[in-house]
Every structure is written in C-alpha cells, then in structure tokens.
Amino acid sequence: MTDTKEYGFGAPTTAQIYKPFDQAPFNGVHFLVKTSPGLTGLASAMRSQIAALDPVQPLGEMRTLDDIEARSVRVQRFSTTLLGIFAAAALLLAAVGLAGVAAYSVVQRTYEIGVRKACGARDADVVRMVVKENFALAVSGIALGLVVAFGAAQLLSSLLFATSAADPLTFVTAPVLLLAVTALASIVPALWATRVEPLVALRSE
C-alpha cells in the first residue's frame, strides 16, 4: 500500500493498494517503462513487441511522464503565467509612476532646491533628499501591499504545490525587488534635481 496523488497535485493524497492483475482483472492496463535518457524509437519498438505477443491487442496512447505531468498542471501553469505577466506589468507601471511622482516633486520644489543649493547643499544632498522621499512612499506602499498580499495569497493556494501560500522567500524577495525598482526610478529625477541652478530657481519665483 502506498500514498498516491491519483487525481492531480492539488487533490488530497489517498492510499492505494496494488494487487496482482490475476486477482483483480479490469479493462485497461497501464504500463510504466523505464528507459535510458534520449532513447528514440521506443514507442514503435514497444508496439512491435506487443504486436508480436498479441496481434489483436489494442494499444492506446503512449506518453512520457513529463508529458503527463505537464498536462496535469497546464491550467495552473497558464494561470500562474498570466499572473506573472500582470505582475510584471504592474511592476513596470509602479516604476513609471514612481519616476513620474519624483519628477513632479522636483518641478514643484524647484525654488526650495535652489535655496538649498544657494545655502551650500551639495549635489549628493539633493540626490539623497529625492531618493529618500521616494523610498518613504515605497515603504508605506509596500507595508500596505504586504497586508493585502498575505490575504490574497490564500486565494492562490489551489495553484501551489509543495509550497505555502505565505512563503517567506516570496514575501521577502518582492519588497526587496520593489525597493530596487524604486532606487532605479529615482535616479533620473534625482540627477535632474542636481542641475537646478540656484539663481534660475530663485528668479522663477
């Protein structure tokens, strides 16, 4: 007796008993054949061998274990691929949004940046100020997103196998990735802020 996932990876594991065919005959038999990797022409050789033993024996479809596994998870794989595409699109939109907010903030604070530079602020100080503000926005958004994601992850449990919906690696990697995107999205506006000339900024007011 052994535990087997007969009805898919997402189905509960049930106990199975293997008995000799002579004791429990039934219509239809599945053969599992172990072969060497890369062996070609196996299907035709097996059909020829079975036909030699019993010419009238009907044969069904021959499939590899990789093919069977792929078919059993095709719905979940399509769903996760689609979710991955949406996640990538959301990450791109977040990066564009962060860059846009940072650029708008620099424009709105041109006078302030000019005053800071006139008072001796270095370019590194201006860059640090812009990046710090973006990081503050990102951290607050990530904190809220983690709460929502933890609840939404329970809805995706049916698509996961051998892993938890609250996988710690995922909940650590995603925020780190978002912070990295935030840093990249802040570079251009931050460098733009360093080009603000104090006299020009003061005259704009």
User: End-to-end CA distance of the chain, in Å?
Assistant: 84
Helix (H) or strand (E) holding 75: helix 74-108
Q: Is 2 helix (H, G, I), strand (E, B) or coil?
A: strand
- pLDDT in the model for residue 167: 72
Question: Which residue do the tokens 């990066």 mark?
Answer: 95
Residues 12 and 82 in one domain: no
Residues 7 and 59 in one domain: yes
Total domains in the fold of the chain: 2
Single out the residue in 30, 48, 72 at which a domain terminates: 72
Strand-pairing partners, residue 30, are: none
- pLDDT in the model for residue 164: 66
Single out the residue in 72, 92, 121 at which a domain terminates: 72
How many degrees, rounded to 5, is the angle at CA 54 between CA 50 and CA 60? 55
Residues 117 and 198 in one domain: yes
DSSP secondary structure letter of residue 154: G
Single out the residue in 27, 57, 72 at which a domain terminates: 72
Tell me the residue range of the domain where 153 lies: 74-203
- pLDDT in the model for residue 105: 74
d(CA 197, CA 44): 79
Q: 15: burial class by Cβ within 10 Å (0-12, 13-18, 19+)?
A: exposed
Question: Which residue do the tokens 């293997």 mark?
Answer: 18
Residues 157 and 128 in one domain: yes
What lies within 8 Å, CB to CB, of 47 at 6+ separation is 59, 62
Helix (H) or strand (E) holding 4: strand 2-4
Residues 179 and 90 in one domain: yes
Per-residue pLDDT of the chain (205 residues; tens, 9 = 90+): 566 766 666 667 777 777 787 777 777 777 777 777 655 677 788 888 888 888 887 877 777 777 877 777 787 788 878 888 988 888 788 777 777 777 777 777 777 777 777 787 788 887 888 788 888 888 888 888 888 877 777 766 666 666 666 677 777 887 888 788 778 777 777 777 777 676 665 555 5
Residues 42 and 98 in one domain: no
Q: Is 3 helix (H, G, I), strand (E, B) or coil?
A: strand
Residues 113 and 178 in one domain: yes
How many degrees, rounded to 5, is the angle at CA 127 between CA 123 and CA 132? 150
- pLDDT in the model for residue 37: 65
Residues 93 and 169 in one domain: yes
Residues 198 and 99 in one domain: yes
Residues 59 and 87 in one domain: no
Global pTM value? 0.58
Nearest CA to 143 among 135, 154, 153?
A: 135
Residues 155 and 95 in one domain: yes
Residues 197 and 112 in one domain: yes
